Chain A
Amino acid sequence: MRFWPKEPFWQGVAVLVMAFLLIVFGIPYLPPLLGIPSAPIPNSVVVQYMLTALVGVLLWVSDNQTRWQQFKQPFHAVMVEERKKPIRMILLVLLPALIGFIAYGRVKPSLDAPPSFRAIHPAPPSSITFQGRTIEITGLENPLRTRGSLDDHYEEGKSIYYENCLACHGDLLDGLGHYSHGFNPTPLSFQDVGTIAQLAESFVFWRIAKGGVGLPNEGGPWNSAMPAWEEFLTEDEIWAVTIFLYEQAGKTPRTWEEHAEGGEH
């Protein structure tokens, strides 16, 4: 390639620049051109990806003795050669300035809330108190799946959803209801492969019944405005809306046996 540098040092720099452009601009803006949704990547993940790329570059330049010597040559030249003295002096100013700038960015006061360190799924309790009764969550199945007509339960769940859940979770169950933009993070999208598709119905029942206030202490603080629906719905109504969620989103609930797989990262 005509524009591809020949020296390992500049090849490494070129790889890192390309990786940065791909991560910061490519991933957020290229998929939407093909109709695939995407978004800017959080800084924490950008740093993670770039560090991995940097390690990869360093391994590549040093796994061969000739390449390693060539890679080190520019550093050596800048450090000792007389004709590179101006570059040396510039670096002598720029490097401390850069470190100072990064340090300033880290310690300057900010009004932003600290980044959340959320767990993927809160661990459910083995039992909960539902409207004064104790319900064992472990091993619990949706009783409506073996009672009455599934179509009837679906229709009932649909009514309940549209009366109570639509405003936040949206018409398409994508978490983009009318009120959703007032929340940060937005309500969960049930279309996402990482939400109800990963969970047993008993887990969904627990979350609906207890809402954000019923989330466990560990893994907090939780950013959830979900009400505790046990205050407004009966047990069967919650099970019915659970059936609606899975049917409408085209997902299948996990069974208790399936959990033996292990979790999702």
Chain B
Amino acid sequence: MALTPAGLLAQAAEAASQGTVSIPAYGSFPAPGNRVAIWVAAQVHLFFAAFVLGVPMFAVVAEAIGIFGNDTKYDKLAKEFTRLLLVSYSATAIWGAILAFGLITLYPGLWSYLARIFAPTMWVYVGLFFFESFTLYLYYYGWERWHDGRAKLMHWSLGILLNIWGTAVMFIANSWLTFMMSPPAEVMPDTAPGMVRLWSAFANATWMPINIHRVIANVVFGGAIVGAYAAYRFLTSKTDEERAHYDWMGYVGNMIAIGTLIVLPFAGYYLGREIYEYNQQMGITMMGGFMSWAWIIQAFLIGVLFLAGNYYLWVGMGRIPGAERYTPYTKWMLVVLVLGVIVWATPHTMIANRDELAAMGGTHHPFLGVLGVMSAKNTAVNLMILTTFLSFLLYRRANKRTVVPWARTGTMIQTAIFVLAAVIVLFYGVYGYFVTAIVRIGFSVYQVLAVLAAIGGVVTLDIMIMRGAESYGAIRWGQMPPRSQYALLILAVTFTWLMGLMGFVRSGIRQHWHIWEVMRDTSEFAATPPLGYAAQVISWCVVIFLGLVGFIFWVGSLAEKPITSHPRQDSLPSTDSRLASAPTGN
């Protein structure tokens, strides 16, 4: 029998009838079954992998700021990031092994097929993984030894190398999973795996979009987990010094997560576009078919992210002298965000009972139906991004007094840029209802460009306006109410759940195919599970991951020395009476 997908799966039956020993198509995992076993293993592995790939990216940036900005607190921060990385690394490998063994024992037919195509890349993967591991050990354990001059630059180079190895490892693994989604057109159900060209399978249609999306998402996820770690350490801190350090670390984690999140939708858009281009049916299943409700949940979760990220900044303004100038504006920003969430999460097809359907005359609401389409949602999310950027800007300016003579004019120009961007976003959002779909698609590009141009223009102006700015007083790091830290924890939980949900969507749109239209899933778990069931599995994955992360971080903290420095010694009123009256209510 030929080694085609169907052939591999049929070997078991044939072998059984002939009385010969052969590999069965599927193994068996006790309740909850093969599918959930592989699902949990893959998802938890992915959570850890995303963390250990995302953290080195900003660790190496923080170290660079420390080196070139001559600021040791960033160097200490980078080291602490890397310590988190070190203790998470083995968990990533363990879950990777569980996933690999799960595939080998539960889905031997699929594994055999993939291995026959991708065997050379699997060996490269192992080699790179080896280099990555030892580069990480050198990077972390060499931190104190190579801390000056050229040695420090060499150490920093190790950090860059670590990122290169890690990214290459991820790109290889991405090729395997994207091949299952979008095998090249020449691969047919009767194509023997030995006949499939490796590069064609490797660089398939969705490979690069997934690569880009995951690189960005890893940074977002890493930032969120680091923020949660800092929040946990803040809440359990015993000294003001520790509180100040972890307050600052939490701020950096939040800034990385939310700042990078702003560009993630564009990568997601690219991936979605490629899925549609590869296969129309798969695209409609994802966006308009039975997976469409996942996007409403996604809108809610991203709404939570925006709200929590902004909330953290607004609460943080309470510890910045001079921030009271801006606090009256926060309620209006909140109004924009809440309205944005409402619009974004308004379903086009509403859940309604019989009477409600009759009153609406169908599943589309005659008035709110306009909020269910892309024009409204693009407008809402772009305005939310602008608002979040405004929060960051106000936070950044909060304790600064401008000295350049044209500061007022500059601020007015910044305001005008904001207003102009918002008007452009609104104009194309409304105009989108009056044009054909092909024109409307182009409008979303104009909206995004308007927002990005506004961000670029405002930041450039702000750097110039703030040149030589005086301070209203140093930020009182550590004087944050505990509820702000819960916002950071919510961010981490939401990001983790969101990753699980979108992972389910990406994988689930293959429906009853192991490899889309090449190898059919003939097991008892072939059907794509409904959203409610998926939500339960995703929640278990999140609980397992966060439970393990909590344990790992706790173990990691057992051996550490107490924090002996903090971001701004001069600003920390360690024995100041202000700390004694620091807000502690939650």
Residues in A lying within 8 Å of B, measured CB to CB: 27-28, 31, 36-45, 48-49, 52-53, 55-56, 59-60, 62-65, 68-69, 72, 112-126, 138-139, 175-176, 184-186, 188-189, 192-194, 197-198, 218-219, 252, 254-265
Contacts and interface: CB of A to CB of B under 8 A. Distances in A.
Contacts of A139: 280
Given A27-B368, A184-B358, A194-B369, A120 B331 contact: no
Contacts of B481: 65, 68
Interface string B104-118: 000000000000000
B257 interface: no
9 contacts: A39-B365, A42-B352, A43-B353, A60-B331, A117-B293, A123-B281, A138-B281, A218-B289, A264-B373
Given A27-B367, A185-B357, A260-B273, A218 B436 contact: no
Contacts, number: 222
A261 B288 CA distance: 12
Contacts of B307: 55-56, 59
Nearest to B373: A264
A52 B341 contact: yes
Given A185-B357, A194-B372, A262 B350 contact: no
Contacts of A64: 314-315, 318, 327
Contacts of A28: 367
Contacts of B370: 193
Contacts of B554: none
A255 B280 CA distance: 11
Interface residues of B, number: 78
Contacts of A175: 361-362
Contact of A176 (B331, B361, B585): B361
Contacts of B514: none
Given A39-B365, A59-B334, A260-B277, A45 B348 contact: no
A44 B437 contact: no
B367 A263 contact: no
B272 interface: yes
Interface stretch (B177-185, B295-303, B545-553): B295-303
Contact of A65 (B334, B341, B368, B583): B583
A38 B367 contact: yes
A261 B585 contact: no
Contacts of A62: 315, 483
B374 interface: yes
Given A52-B342, A115-B353, A175-B361, 17 more contacts: A38-B365, A42-B352, A56-B337, A59-B307, A64-B327, A65-B318, A69-B585, A116-B357, A123-B288, A124-B281, A184-B358, A185-B362, A197-B437, A256-B280, A261-B374, A264-B287, A265-B347
